[in-house]
Amino acid sequence: MIYFTSSAASETYKEEREQGEEEVASNASLQEHMSAAQRVLADAIKRQQMGLEGLEAGRFQLLKLFGRIERLHEQIDRAFGGQPFLPNVPPDSPANQRRFNAFFENHRKATRWLMKALELWMLTCGLKREDNWVPLLIAEMQLSWAKSQTDERQGIADDWLSRVLDPNQPG
């Protein structure tokens, strides 16, 4: 009886190990076909990353989405030859009105997707649409301006110092 149980357990263990090996091989094959963004996202899911760490993985996917939306806008322009109106046809003709409406509607849909993607990007950066983050942007611009002024003054001071230390320099 004990022999039978251990034999059955041994068989079960072999089957599980074989399934595990097949799963590992399958996952390796899947990893080869995944993009870098998908691998980062899959890794975050596997490690059960939460909070900001988990959001960071989603940024890669959003970058791909931004690229797709940009290409979509370009394809819409290409499809219409970059012109919402037919050349040599009055702008108020029914054909031109239909063409303009189609052109505008396609761009409007793509822009809506862009706005949703931007909102998702803001969420991954810790911002919400409801938050008043405009003062943060203004403060960041002021800091950037102050840094540029400091860098400019430092450049002038370095230039003056190099002329003082090397009197052979013109100026």
pLDDT over 50 at 71, yes or no:
yes
pLDDT over 80 at 83, yes or no:
yes
Residue 20, pLDDT score:
58
Residue 75 near residue 60, CB atoms below 8 Å: no
Place of tokens 């993607």: 117
Give the C-alpha separation, 85 to 96, whole Å. 5
Q: Give the helix, strand, coil percentages of the chain, each rounded to 5.
A: 80, 0, 20
The residue type at 171: G
Residue 158, pLDDT score:
76
Residue 1, pLDDT score:
42
| The model's pTM | 0.51
pLDDT over 80 at 137, yes or no:
no
pLDDT over 80 at 33, yes or no:
no
Q: What is the mean pLDDT of residues 129-141?
A: 73
Give the C-alpha separation, 60 to 171, whole Å. 51
pLDDT over 50 at 3, yes or no:
no
Q: How confident is the model at residue 40 (pLDDT cuts 50, 70, 90)?
A: low
Q: Tell me what the pLDDT averaged over the chain comes to.
A: 76
Residue 7 near residue 15, CB atoms below 8 Å: no
Residue 65 near residue 117, CB atoms below 8 Å: yes
Q: How confident is the model at residue 41 (pLDDT cuts 50, 70, 90)?
A: low
Instruction: Output DSSP code: residue 7.
Output: H
Residue count (the chain): 171
Residue 88 near residue 51, CB atoms below 8 Å: no
SS3 for 91? Answer: coil
Q: What is the pLDDT of residues 84-125, one digit of tens each?
A: 999 899 989 999 999 999 999 999 999 999 999 988 888 777
SS3 for 158? Answer: helix
